[in-house]
Amino acid sequence: MSTYTTAWKSPSNIALVKYWGKKPNATQIPSNASISFTLNNCATSTQLTYEEQESLEISVLLEGENEPSFVPKIEQFLKRISGVFPFVLRGKYTIDTSNSFPHSSGIASSASGMSALALCICDIAMEKGLLTEDKFKETASELARLGSGSASRSIYGPMGEWGEHPDFAGSSDNFAIPYSDVADVFKDYCDTILLVHKGQKTVSSTVGHGLIDDNPYAPARFTQAQDNMTKLKAILKSGDLDAFITLVESEALTLHSLMMSSNPYFILMKPETLQVLEAIWAKREKDGVKWCFTLDAGANVHFLYPQADKAAAQAFIEEELAQYCENGAYIHDEVGAGAEKVI
């Protein structure tokens, strides 16, 4: 019986056109396409030791501490991907994982975590001769999707696109593709994550996705998202920051409006979230800066600005925005190159 050890570091991502809703009677197939900036500093590092044996055994360490609560989700993930690699249900897994950011705080920890694990499993499949180099990242993205939809996009930098769309050649509902046809300004765009609330969310993304099925606004939303993908493609190529701001902020607020119009309805924003948004709007109105926000499924705010404005934008964070963050906490990040192999 062989033993394999591998490790990958995979980043989080922040969607610009949002994924919220899955097609019925399918496993992790999105109702609309989405596209995201791949981040650089917010990442999950995962080391996997896999020992061949007949039964399935899983142990998980998070930040060096035993974390049995993760085991059921990983077991479900392995069952889902066993259609691709049957060997995954026979073995002893020791998973040692750590995040550079708070878990379940709206910074897409499931995206970085599941993509890191998927990459480790693809490494083992390569060593077993079950996967070729040319299909490695595509397969890793497909496996990651089965763990967390947005995880499919974290494999690639500077951007990942997931979901079939006529304007994105090679796009698929089953895996993400890298996207890099962007103006220089977007290749190293900055994202400071303002940690308004570092605790766990009151409603998980999995539950939230399920509630969209009965949302009366869902059909119009799916059409809007597909249209916004086409618009954003042109914006990214042209470097039009005004159009970028309008589309990205609209997408963020649309995501949260879907939560508020679900049954049962829920709100993941906090009062401080709105104070941050209003401060950004006021700054833009007063000084004409090209800074904006987006939101993920949580209370935290992703404050987006060009690399050329880094000093001024970060001074604004210190002077105006940090007061709305829990214990003044925030994480400076920027667009990154995607996942990387550690060992």
Write out the chain's pLDDT in tens, 343 residues. 899 999 999 999 999 999 999 999 999 999 999 999 999 999 999 999 999 999 999 999 999 999 999 999 999 999 999 999 999 999 999 999 999 986 655 565 889 999 999 999 999 999 999 999 999 999 999 999 999 999 999 999 999 999 999 999 999 999 999 999 999 999 999 999 999 998 888 899 989 999 999 999 999 999 999 999 999 999 999 999 999 999 999 999 999 999 999 999 999 999 999 999 999 999 999 999 999 999 999 999 999 999 999 999 999 999 999 999 999 999 999 999 999 999 8
C-alpha distances in Å from residue 162, one per residue of 155, 201, 310? 11, 24, 29
pLDDT value at residue 107? 66
pLDDT value at residue 103? 62
Non-local (6+) Cβ contacts of 229 within 8 A are 17, 32, 33, 34, 35, 161, 165, 167, 168
Tell me the HSE value of 38 on the side-chain side, using a 13 A CA sphere: 29
Burial group, residue 64, by CB count within 10 angstroms (0-12, 13-18, 19+): exposed
Non-local (6+) Cβ contacts of 97 within 8 A are 44, 45, 46, 47, 60, 61, 62, 113, 116, 117
Tokens linked to 150: 């947005």
In the chain, which residue ranges form alpha helices assigned H by DSSP?
A: 71-81, 109-127, 136-147, 184-187, 205-211, 218-238, 241-260, 271-287, 310-316
Domains along the chain with CATH numbers: 3-182 (3.30.230.10), 186-334 (3.30.70.890)
pLDDT value at residue 101? 80
pLDDT value at residue 109? 81
Cα dihedral 196→197→201→202 (10° resolution)? -100
Choose among 23, 42, 78: nearest CA to 298. 42
pLDDT value at residue 311? 98
> What is the distance of C-alpha 289 from the center of its chain?
27
Angle between helices 218-238 and 241-260 (to 10 degrees): 160
By the 8 A CB rule, do 119 and 155 touch? yes
